[in-house]
Amino acid sequence: MTQSAVKILVVDDEPAIRKLLRVGLTAEGYVLIEAPNAREALVLVKQEAPDLILLDLGLPDMSGHDLLERWRAEPLDLPIIILSSRTDEAGIVRALELGADDYVTKPFGTRELVARIRVGLRHKLQQQGERPIFQTGDLSVDLVKRIVRLAGREVKLSPKEYDILRILVQHAGKVITHQHLLKQVWGGPTDVQYLRVYVRQLRQKIEQSPDDPHYIKTETGVGYRLREADPDPRWDAPPSSANS
């Protein structure tokens, strides 16, 4: 993705939204492919091999949730970001549980969207060659030695606290739902209050101000998002470059 322009498939039935994205994202160096419905999107995914998908949930011929579920079942291993005017928590949580990497609600700013796109693309590259030490600001996590440091000082975490932080690190910059964390850390359905207690304890250990967290952000009614990693030249190259 660093040798040629990043290709993004936009699946949205609103011409005005597609035009907005076309103008804003091509100015950032991305190449856009557009589909007004699910039927065309299914064809373009195979023909054009995009690097990332922006998916509206309100399509005319198929629910965006159903399309997302179909792609993930194939499986289609691409970052998929939901674009939707729907702000209901249940719809957002369902999309994330079905395999969406992130969501942006309409109306949105181009800068915010570009930041989410870069996180999605970066995470894909991390999966291909993840560095063992995660660093964001003063917080570092050694995923091999299981050592957490804040401003160089080692922070002692309980096993559950570390497991929560490890999952957030592995998906840094992306929202992780309550249910996903509960399943991964507790192994199945558990009262979300247990998760909130451990996140509060974790914040008390790594945040300068636990009530106004800098690293672990709350996505109200949905889950948590860890601040993304500090830039790495391998993952933050411009979306287009000179021909190799």
pLDDT in tens, 139-191: 999 987 889 999 999 999 999 999 999 999 988 888 999 999 999 999 877 89
Cα–Cα dist 162/141, whole Å: 10
pLDDT in tens, 89-110: 788 899 999 999 999 988 888 8
**213 pLDDT higher than 50:** yes
Mean pLDDT of 206-218: 96
Enumerate residues 6+ apart whose C-beta is below 8 A from 31: 5, 6, 7, 8
Q: Which residue has the tokens 């796109």?
A: 117
The pLDDT of residue 230 is: 82
Entry field: residues in the chain = 244
Mean pLDDT, to the nearest integer, of 120-141?
A: 76
Q: How far is the C-alpha of 120 from the C-alpha of 60, rounded, in Å?
A: 26
pLDDT single digits (tens) 32-58: 999 999 999 999 999 999 999 999 998
Angle at 168 (CA atoms; ends 162, 174), nearest 5 degrees: 175
Phi, psi of 153 (to 5 degrees): -95, 130
Say how many CA atoms lie within 13 Å of 52 toward its Cβ. 29
pLDDT value of residue 107: 82
Q: Is the pTM of this model over 0.75?
A: no
